[in-house]
């Protein structure tokens, strides 16, 4: 039987026998495998009937985020796909109306592949800024999460399943306070999907006493972070006297905002104490050399003098190492451990906000002429 031996890594033969380099010109790399994979994913989610340009913009947004017009150029550069600006401006207004259709298909996909049954969702928001300094009806200067305070932005609210799969989103003007978004987004989601049992998990920034009242009135279960620095003095004393400062220990206290669950961690204690001592040291420096431009956490003004806020320091010391959570779920339904575990899964929303092209495999296609 005829066979060939292992080829040498450094062949003596002239490589021009295989490829005439002297007669070839390198014209670039096309990442068509990446584009094919994104289109395959869209097909799996039953989004194959989206406008071709919109699907291509989704792919290039994941691969190389850029402005809309720049994205059209990158489609040609990286994928070898050509779309005109005229086509984009023609389909753009109609794409807005696809939101509910897309969310419905995504939820259906999650139900089939992730056993999603609308029982629990994780909620958070982020901001996207624009490379401009001019505001309009939607793009407004607000509370940026990326230190771009001088550039207008939009606020995006996102809900994901317990697997981290995005289920629904909403867009708000950039100057919207994030705590005002959660109630309308959740109520709309429940009404559209006719959800009967629902639990939302969100961080402390989303929740106020008013929001908790509305969640309760609408029979919406919640697990949210608690800002212990703002709790009444009497409740603080109860926590201080009741909680066991051992790792893994927790307590549950009934409050006007639902059950307050507090847990202790020695790791958190060391971190909190370090931060407190650092802030106290900075406060002492401001007291020694007063400055109108500097306001520290542990300082207070008394007459014309600046002094340490001893009461706040004592309050902070009592809360070292303690983390709080509010929920309206009874212990029989979700014990303290489960509530804390669910809250700590909020990172999945942050993951959903971030898609790195480095995490996706691409295969370059070389072209010669």
Q: List, for residues 245-290, the tens digit of each pLDDT value.
A: 999 899 999 999 999 999 999 999 999 999 999 999 999 988 888 7
Helix (H, G, I), strand (E, B) or coil at 125: strand
Q: Which residues does 69 contact at the CB level (< 8 Å), separation at least 6?
A: 85
Query: What pLDDT does 179 receive?
Result: 87
Query: What pLDDT does 320 receive?
Result: 96
Of 93-97, 140-144, 344-348, the one with minimum mean pLDDT is 140-144
Q: List, for residues 321-334, the tens digit of each pLDDT value.
A: 999 999 999 999 99
Query: What pLDDT does 357 receive?
Result: 31
Instruction: Give yes or no for residue 96 having a pLDDT over 90.
Output: no
Alpha-carbon Rg for the chain in angstroms = 28
Query: What pLDDT does 13 receive?
Result: 63
Q: What angle do CA 204, 327, 198 make, to 5 degrees?
A: 100
What one-character-per-residue DSSP string does 269-321 give?
HHHHHHHHHHHHHHHHHHHHS--TT---TTEEEETTEEEE-HHHHHHHHHTTT
Query: What pLDDT does 12 receive?
Result: 63
Q: List, for residues 23-73, the tens digit of each pLDDT value.
A: 778 877 899 999 999 999 999 999 989 999 999 999 999 899 888 889 999
Higher pLDDT, 28 or 87: 87
Alpha-carbon span 126 to 160, nearest angstrom: 14
Q: Among candidates 302, 299, 301, which has minimal Cα distance to 313?
A: 299
Instruction: Find the mean pLDDT for residues 311-329.
Output: 95
Higher pLDDT, 116 or 290: 116
Query: What pLDDT does 292 receive?
Result: 64
Instruction: Find the mean pLDDT for residues 171-199.
Output: 91
Mean pLDDT (the chain, rounded): 87
Instruction: Find the mean pLDDT for residues 354-358.
Output: 45
Query: What pLDDT does 9 receive?
Result: 66
Q: List, for residues 126-180, the tens digit of each pLDDT value.
A: 888 887 788 888 888 887 877 777 789 999 999 999 999 999 999 999 889 888 8
- 168: alpha, beta or left? (left if phi > 0; alpha if psi -120 to 50): beta
How buried is 64 (Cβ within 10 angstroms: 0-12 exposed, 13-18 middle, 19+ buried)?
A: middle
Instruction: Find the mean pLDDT for residues 295-323.
Output: 90
Q: Among candidates 194, 197, 195, 201, which has minimal Cα distance to 159?
A: 201
Instruction: Find the mean pLDDT for residues 87-92.
Output: 92
Backbone angles phi, psi at 156, to 5 degrees: -115, 125
Instruction: Pick the most confident of 101-115, 198-212, 286-300.
Output: 101-115
Instruction: Give yes or no for residue 360 having a pLDDT over 60.
Output: no
Segments making up each domain of the chain, as ranges:
24-98+363-368, 204-291+310-345
Question: Buried b / exposed e across 174-199, counting CB within 10 Å, b at 16+?
Answer: bebebbebbbebbeebbeeeeeeebb
pTM summary value: 0.80
Query: What pLDDT does 364 receive?
Result: 37
């Amino acid at each position: 039987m005829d066979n060939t031996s292992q080829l040498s890594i450094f062949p003596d033969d002239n490589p021009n026998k295989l490829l005439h380099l002297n007669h070839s010109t390198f014209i670039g790399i096309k990442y068509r495998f990446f584009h094919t994979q994104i289109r395959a994913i869209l097909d799996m989610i039953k989004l194959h009937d989206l406008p071709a340009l919109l699907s291509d913009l989704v792919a290039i947004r994941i691969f190389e985020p850029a402005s809309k017009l720049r994205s059209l150029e990158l489609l040609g550069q990286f994928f070898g796909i050509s779309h005109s600006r005229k086509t984009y401006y023609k389909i753009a207004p109609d794409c807005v109306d696809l939101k509910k259709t897309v969310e419905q298909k995504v939820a259906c996909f999650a139900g089939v592949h992730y056993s999603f049954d609308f029982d629990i969702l994780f909620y958070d928001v982020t901001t996207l800024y624009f490379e401009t300094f001019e505001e309009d009806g939607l793009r407004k200067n607000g509370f940026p999460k990326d230190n771009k305070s001088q550039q207008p932005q939009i606020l995006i609210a996102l809900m994901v399943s317990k697997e981290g799969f995005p289920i629904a989103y909403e867009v708000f003007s950039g100057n919207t306070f994030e705590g005002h978004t959660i109630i309308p987004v959740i109520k709309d989601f429940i009404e559209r999907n006719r959800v009967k049992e629902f639990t939302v998990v969100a961080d402390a920034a989303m929740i106020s006493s008013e929001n908790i009242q509305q969640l309760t009135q609408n029979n919406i279960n919640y697990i949210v972070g608690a800002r212990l620095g703002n709790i009444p003095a009497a409740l603080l004393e109860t926590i201080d006297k009741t909680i066991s400062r051992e790792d893994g220990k927790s307590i549950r206290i009934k409050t006007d905002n639902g059950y307050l669950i507090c847990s202790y961690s020695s790791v958190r204690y060391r971190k909190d104490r370090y931060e407190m001592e650092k802030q106290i040291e900075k406060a002492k420096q401001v007291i020694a050399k007063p400055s109108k431009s500097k306001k520290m956490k542990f300082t207070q003004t008394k007459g014309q003098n600046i002094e340490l806020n001893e009461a706040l320091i004592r309050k902070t010391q009592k809360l070292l190492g303690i983390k709080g959570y509010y929920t309206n779920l009874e212990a029989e339904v979700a014990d303290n451990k489960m509530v804390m575990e669910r809250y700590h899964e909020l990172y999945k929303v942050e993951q959903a906000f971030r898609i790195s092209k480095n995490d996706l495999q691409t295969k370059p296609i070389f072209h010669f002429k």
